[in-house]
Amino acid sequence: MLRRLATQRLGQIRHAFNPTHQTSRCFSTALNYHIDTPDNNTELPWEFSVKNQEKVKEILSHYPSNYKQSAVIPLLDLAQQQHGGWLPVSAMNAVAKVIEVAPIRVYEVATFYSMFNRAKVGQYHLLVCGTTPCMIRGSRDIESALLKHLGVKRNEVTKDGLFSVGEMECMGSCVNAPMITVADYSNGSEGYAYNYYEDVTPERVVEIVEGFRRGEKPPRGTQNAKRINSGPEGGNTTLLGEPKPPPCRDLDAC
């Protein structure tokens, strides 16, 4: 029984890392294993760019010199921006060298947090919120519209390398559900942007995608012209002026 289960599990792992299936692997939720590939192995050189080396120094300055490891998350984020939206193992090793820890300590962080991608993503990585409020408001239709329009499956990259579609849990804009985030890696870490597009519809997300394809920067935030930020359609109906002071006590006397 145990041998059969072990054999089955090994087969699943081999299938996941088979080159013919590589494009369909999840980015952040991929199996927490590493198998060398031509574009992701420890022999490939990787280091922060000259400009980013200055950013590394600035990040490290926020922490005591004997707690460099506390900078692991912002340094991984910077490395991911520089490398086009994903983290090869050589980039993780470079971060480990900077903060003077064993590489496994960096791998532990990179495999735990879902915002770190360990497989290639598109220059524009589209993340659809999949949590309950957005799901109730039609996030599955949003995702389906994106996948159909781009001709990919979830976590695949388009042939031109421009787009990929993934899922992310709650982004904190439930009042503007459904929503997507666009992580823009098209200009490296210098031009990196991470913007919310809220109150979207299947038709609107396709328009947003085509705007990025044309090199435009679609306006972020709510896509409902009748709303201002997270306010109700038509404007506020309450809290229109300064609130009255509480009658129970004199705040100025405190």
Binding residues: 129, 134, 170, 174
- Residue positions in the annotated binding site for [2Fe-2S] cluster? 129, 134, 170, 174
Measured between alpha carbons, how far is 64 from 52 in angstroms, rounded to an integer? Answer: 20
Q: Which helix (H) or strand (E) holds 167?
A: strand 163-168
Identify which of 209, 86, 85 has the alpha carbon closest to the alpha carbon of residue 147. Answer: 209
Give percent helix, percent strand, percent coil of the chain, each to the nearest 5.
40, 10, 45
What count of other Cβ atoms lies within 10 Å of the Cβ of residue 173? 20
Residue 22's SS3 state is helix
Distance of CA 158 to the CA centre of its chain: 17
Q: In what order do the strands lie in the sheet with 179-184?
A: 163-168, 124-129, 179-184, 193-198, 221-222
